[in-house]
Structure 1
């Protein structure tokens, strides 16, 4: 497993360090416990998931999903449920290869950063389990301790570029000092910025793009018979 000589490595979460996307895992977990979560699942499947696959996720669409997902839930309650979700289901989907790759970079003193469209509490649960110190993610918008959507800017697509740039600048670094691992074509803007792009468990569109650009590819998914 190759380790690149950079100062910072950004990692996507969904279908990259874990073998599913965190939203779908959350929905399945919730539906087993609360019937109203079927509404959440319907919204995700009918709107958000299709938009994600087409690379057309907008702030309004994702924020509206979180508004439905939380239904005005108090932030403290959401934190408790995220912790329960991660303990019961979430941690089971971490790729075992992820720990080895992260350790290899950590042993060289490289800063590890999770940059993901998951919300800050779900992202932090995975980051803590993986030993990743820094998290760049979508942030919940809270009014009077009630979740009402997501803050701006959106951590998705080109939005990740601006957030990653800010992180690097605060440390006196540039994209030339960074690598990025991801599975999704939606992350092409950031892949094209960093010194070392790596496609990880890529979808078909990203695999094609990587082949055209001669980017390295890792695939941890089990081989299909």
Structure 2
């Protein structure tokens, strides 16, 4: 009788408040307001409203992405790229914590595939994933126009809530695999990520919000507090 080959190991990480002690999506919005791209009072109010909906699990992600990418879309790719470089230097880099980087490195050094799975859009998060040394990113993909620039709409299934399960399944299928072929660990801070936490072999409630902490305690999941949230 031939033994089944050992499953490869896959480490999945949420990004905001899991690896980063900030919400990169919200922080990008604040940054664009500070550099004069948006009306300060109007943008701050709407950004705060969307953030509260996210924390409550009631966010309309399509409406939010249209709002969050509007200034980027209007500025165009050259100015947007320059602003994002500045955002990385001034906002993100100070929050690349040794604890988070070390956790990612431990999985990589153990031979695990590492993927960041985030509900934040690809424009904001691609460079952040690279800063963590992660080349596989599952983020909200943005629709492009005929010139290759973003339209404000989402392309495909957004990687939020149960959509994270779908997007990971699609990613595995693209490599000729399914859930049964990998031993999966998922780190997340958010109750919104309960669908993927319930799907993986090893859920890790990381810097969990109150609702997720309660679920993790009830179910005996590992709880990891890497840092204080900001």
Q: CA deviation at 1:83?
A: 1.7
Q: TM-score, normalised by structure 2?
A: 0.86
Equivalent in the alignment of 1:159? 163
Aligned 8 A contact 1:59 1:152 in 2: no
| 1:11-22 paired onto structure 2 within 5 Å | 11-22=13-24
Q: 2:202 aligns with which of 190, 196, 199?
A: 196
Distance in 2, Cα, partners of 1:152 & 1:35: 28
Equivalent in the alignment of 2:3? none
Q: Please state whether the residue corresponding to 1:7 is helix, strand or coil.
A: strand
Q: Structure 1, unaligned stretches of length 5 or more?
A: none
Q: CA deviation at 1:191?
A: 0.3
Equivalent in the alignment of 1:97? 99
Instruction: Assess, with a 3 A threshold, how the Cα gap between structure 1 residues 207 and 36 changes in structure 2: closer, same or farther.
Output: same
Quick check: which has more Rg, 1 or 2? 2
Distance in 2, Cα, partners of 1:63 & 1:111: 29
Instruction: Assess, with a 3 A threshold, how the Cα gap between structure 1 residues 113 and 35 changes in structure 2: closer, same or farther.
Output: closer
Q: Please state whether the residue corresponding to 1:9 is helix, strand or coil.
A: strand
Q: CA deviation at 1:146?
A: 4.2
Instruction: Give the RMSD, CA atoms, in angstroms.
Output: 2.1
Q: CA deviation at 1:64?
A: 2.5
| 1:87-166 paired onto structure 2 within 5 Å | 87-143=89-145, 144-149=147-152, 150-166=154-170
Aligned 8 A contact 2:184 2:201 in 1: yes
Equivalent in the alignment of 2:58? 56
Instruction: Assess, with a 3 A threshold, how the Cα gap between structure 1 residues 178 and 184 changes in structure 2: closer, same or farther.
Output: same
Q: TM-score, normalised by structure 1?
A: 0.88
Q: 2:213 aligns with which of 195, 207, 211?
A: 207
Q: Structure 2, unaligned stretches of length 5 or more?
A: 1-6
For residues 103-151 of structure 1, the C-alpha deviation after alignment (integer angstroms, 9 at most, x for no partner) is 1111111110000012113211111111112000012223244432132
Equivalent in the alignment of 1:174? 179
Report how many aligned residue pairs link the two structures. Answer: 218
Distance in 2, Cα, partners of 1:211 & 1:199: 9
Distance in 2, Cα, partners of 1:41 & 1:146: 25
Equivalent in the alignment of 1:185? 191
Distance in 2, Cα, partners of 1:59 & 1:100: 31
Instruction: Assess, with a 3 A threshold, how the Cα gap between structure 1 residues 146 and 37 changes in structure 2: closer, same or farther.
Output: farther
Distance in 2, Cα, partners of 1:145 & 1:21: 27
